[in-house]
């Protein structure tokens, strides 16, 4: 999806292949070397984004309560940031300006404010700096693919590597790829597949995205390869036993189909907002409103949503203590204050998130921060879907990003994977940048 140097921010431009010399052995060698560099860096970045460069972790080892991050992760992401920065400087860096939008600046500014007001400013500052590096990498990696076919090839490669390696992990080393009764936390998940990922929820989210990848590949690359990716990912998704991801997959496919065919921003946004309102009413509303609790129970569903209601009640109570700026950017769960100071019910030390991305953002950056981040990562990309020019190449790419965006929006009513700093937020940021890019360019197949 490389772009010509004459394009200016604010205008719709046509993506073209990178401008290599047309003749000569040296030109061919340069072209292949550039393509290899783009492909290698893209795959490494996506692999690291999905697994945090720590695939197949053991979960039966005692977790250490520490604020220190992974030194290897810090070095790896810093190196990738530098490599991508050098590459972008040599390949039309002005394209990065197209990815910046006012709501993004406001969201990051508010997050910076929450760092200053954090109950642990040094920890928040370190995590915010890491988040800025991650955001930079996500923006630059969007520019690596030369065209839509190249992007589909690279996404197919990532999907195949992670899916096949996850199956091999389940078959050859279940202790590293399947939740065990000996795990130090969430022993009740024993038997659920997680593959190369650290948790079944992460694995299920990845498999859903890989199914979307298969649909993209079948449209722009190869029907057989796309279907093969789907056939690999779907059974693994089932064996994660993640009810949220399994039930939301058909919902996302139906909603994205309606939005793609109606082509009305008002109708599309109304559908999304109504679904989010219903999901939040049934989940959070069931805590406080008895008729909603009874209605959920009458549907044959667990009104506690497998214990999430206790966590939500706990989180909402603490949001009310600091509603404007929260407890500090990416700073609440796992801190000494929570593990040792808020452990009256015994379970707080083992909880890693609120199981609701919007609540987690409000808890750490305040209600305004949650709203700004949701606008940047969820609602603005949906509007970008309607701004994208309809072409045979743009349509499948925009639809691919839309599906990930919708899944992140709906999934965040039950999990925090997609809207917290970490591996899956990385995928959402790439999606937001990718949707922004596709709305301002006409992609060549």
Instruction: Note down pLDDT in tens along the chain; length 445 residues.
Output: 544 333 444 444 444 333 333 344 555 556 788 889 999 999 999 998 888 888 898 887 765 555 555 678 888 889 999 999 999 998 888 888 888 999 999 999 999 999 999 988 999 999 899 899 999 999 999 999 988 999 999 999 999 999 999 999 999 999 999 999 888 877 888 999 999 998 898 899 999 999 999 999 999 999 999 999 999 999 999 999 999 999 999 999 999 999 988 888 999 999 999 999 999 999 998 888 889 988 888 888 888 888 788 889 889 989 999 999 999 998 888 777 777 766 555 566 677 788 899 999 999 999 999 999 999 999 999 999 998 877 766 788 999 999 999 999 999 998 887 666 556 788 899 999 999 988 877 655 5
> Cα separation of 75 and 52, whole Å?
12
Regarding whether 379 and 409 lie in a shared domain, the answer is yes
Q: Which residues contact 16 (CB under 8 A, 6 or more apart)?
A: 2, 3, 4, 444
The answer as to whether 222 is a domain residue is yes
14 sits in which H/E element? strand 13-14
Last residue of a domain, one of 241, 274, 306: 241
Question: Are 303 and 442 in the same domain?
Answer: yes
pLDDT of residue 420: 62
Residue 30 pLDDT: 64
Q: pLDDT value at position 7?
A: 42
Please return the burial class of 68, using the count of CB atoms within 10 Å of its CB with bins 0-12, 13-18 and 19+: exposed
Q: Is residue 129 part of a domain?
A: no
Domain that holds residue 86: 28-57+70-91+145-241
* 126 part of a folded domain: no
Residues 6+ apart with CB under 8 A from 344: none
Q: Are residues 287 and 202 part of one domain?
A: no
In this structure, how many other beta carbons lie within 10 angstroms of the beta carbon of residue 172?
9
In a domain, 414, yes or no: yes
Residue 15, in any domain of the structure: no
Q: Are residues 230 and 335 both part of a single domain? A: no
Establish if 11 belongs to a structural domain: no
Q: Are residues 48 and 153 in the same domain?
A: yes
Q: Which residues contact 145 (CB under 8 A, 6 or more apart)?
A: 1, 2, 38, 42, 151, 154
What is residue 227's predicted lDDT score, i.e. its pLDDT?
97
What's the pLDDT score for residue 13? 44
Q: Residues with Cβ < 8 Å from 286, sequence gap 6 or more? A: 292, 293, 296, 303, 305, 309
295 with 221, same domain: the answer is: no
| pLDDT in the model for residue 306 | 80
Q: Looking at the structure, do residues 169 and 296 belong to the same domain, yes or no? A: no
Is there a single domain that holds both residue 281 and residue 349? yes
Q: Kindly list the distances between the CA atom of residue 45 and the CA atoms of 52, 81, 229, 248, in Å, as whole numbers in the listed order.
A: 10, 10, 20, 27
The confidence score (pLDDT) of residue 107 equals 96
* Last residue of one domain, picked from the residues 241, 265, 291: 241
Distances, alpha carbon 345 to alpha carbons 311, 332, 339, 348, 350, in Å: 11, 17, 11, 7, 11
What pLDDT is stored for residue 257 in this prediction? 93
Q: Given this model, what pLDDT does residue 15 score?
A: 44
Number of domains in the chain: 2
In this structure, the answer to whether residues 224 and 192 fall within a common structural domain is: yes
Integer Cα distance of 26 and 167 in angstroms: 42
Classify residue 96: in a domain, yes or no: no
Q: Does residue 77 fall inside a structural domain?
A: yes
| Residues contacting 257, CB < 8 A, separation 6+ | none
pLDDT at 421: 52
To the nearest 10°, report the CA torsion of 68, 73, 78, 84.
Answer: -150
pTM metric for this prediction: 0.89
User: Are 276 and 338 contained in the same domain?
Assistant: yes
The last residue of one of the domains, among 189, 206, 241, is: 241
Cβ-contact 245, 404 below 8 angstroms: no
**Exposed, middle or buried by CB within 10 Å (0-12, 13-18, 19+), for 61?**
exposed
Check whether residue 237 and residue 271 sit in a common domain: no
Residue 436: both structure tokens together: 């922004």
Q: CA 396, CA 408: separation in Å to the nearest integer?
A: 18
Whether 247 and 194 map to the same domain: the answer is no
What residues contact residue 343 under an 8 Å CB cut-off, 6+ apart? 349
């Amino acid at each position: 999806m490389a772009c010509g140097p004459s394009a200016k921010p604010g205008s719709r431009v046509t993506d073209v292949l990178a401008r290599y010399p047309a003749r000569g052995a040296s030109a061919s060698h340069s072209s292949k070397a550039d393509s290899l560099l783009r492909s290698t860096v893209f795959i490494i970045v996506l692999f690291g984004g999905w697994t945090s460069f720590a695939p197949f972790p053991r979960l039966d080892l005692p977790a250490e309560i520490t604020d220190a991050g992974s030194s290897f992760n810090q070095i790896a992401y810093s190196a990738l940031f530098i490599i991508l920065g050098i590459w972008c400087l040599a390949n039309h860096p002005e394209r990065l300006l197209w990815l910046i939008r006012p709501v993004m600046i406001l969201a990051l500014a508010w997050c910076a404010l929450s760092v200053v007001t954090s109950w642990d400013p040094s920890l928040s500052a370190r995590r915010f700096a890491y988040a800025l590096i991650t955001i930079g990498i996500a923006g630059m990696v969007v520019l690596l693919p030369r065209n839509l076919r190249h992007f589909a090839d690279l996404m197919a490669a990532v999907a195949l590597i992670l899916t096949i390696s996850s199956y091999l992990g389940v078959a050859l080393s279940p202790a590293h790829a399947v939740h065990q009764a000996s795990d130090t936390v969430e022993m009740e998940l024993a038997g659920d597949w997680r593959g190369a990922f650290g948790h079944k929820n992460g694995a299920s989210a990845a498999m859903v995205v890989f199914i979307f990848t298969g649909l993209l590949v079948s449209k722009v690359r190869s029907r057989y390869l796309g279907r093969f990716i789907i056939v690999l990912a779907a059974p693994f998704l089932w064996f994660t036993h993640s009810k949220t991801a399994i039930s939301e997959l058909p919902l996302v496919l139906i909603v994205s189909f309606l939005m793609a065919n109606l082509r009305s921003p008002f109708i599309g946004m109304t559908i999304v907002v109504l679904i989010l309102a219903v999901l939040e009413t049934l989940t959070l509303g069931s805590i406080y409103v008895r008729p909603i609790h009874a209605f959920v129970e009458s549907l044959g569903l667990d009104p506690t949503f497998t214990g999430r209601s206790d966590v939500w009640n706990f989180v909402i109570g603490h949001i009310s203590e600091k509603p404007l700026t929260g407890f500090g950017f990416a700073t609440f769960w796992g801190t000494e204050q929570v593990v040792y100071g808020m452990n009256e019910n015994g379970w707080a030390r083992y909880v890693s998130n609120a199981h609701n991305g919007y609540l987690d953002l409000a808890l750490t950056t305040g209600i305004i921060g949650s709203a700004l981040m949701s606008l940047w990562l969820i609602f603005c990309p949906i509007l970008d879907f309607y701004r994208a020019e309809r072409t045979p190449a743009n349509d499948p790419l925009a639809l691919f990003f839309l599906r990930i965006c919708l899944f992140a929006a709906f999934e965040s009513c039950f999990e925090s994977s997609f809207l917290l700093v970490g591996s899956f937020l990385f995928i959402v940021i790439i999606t937001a940048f990718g949707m922004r890019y596709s709305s301002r360019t006409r992609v060549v197949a």
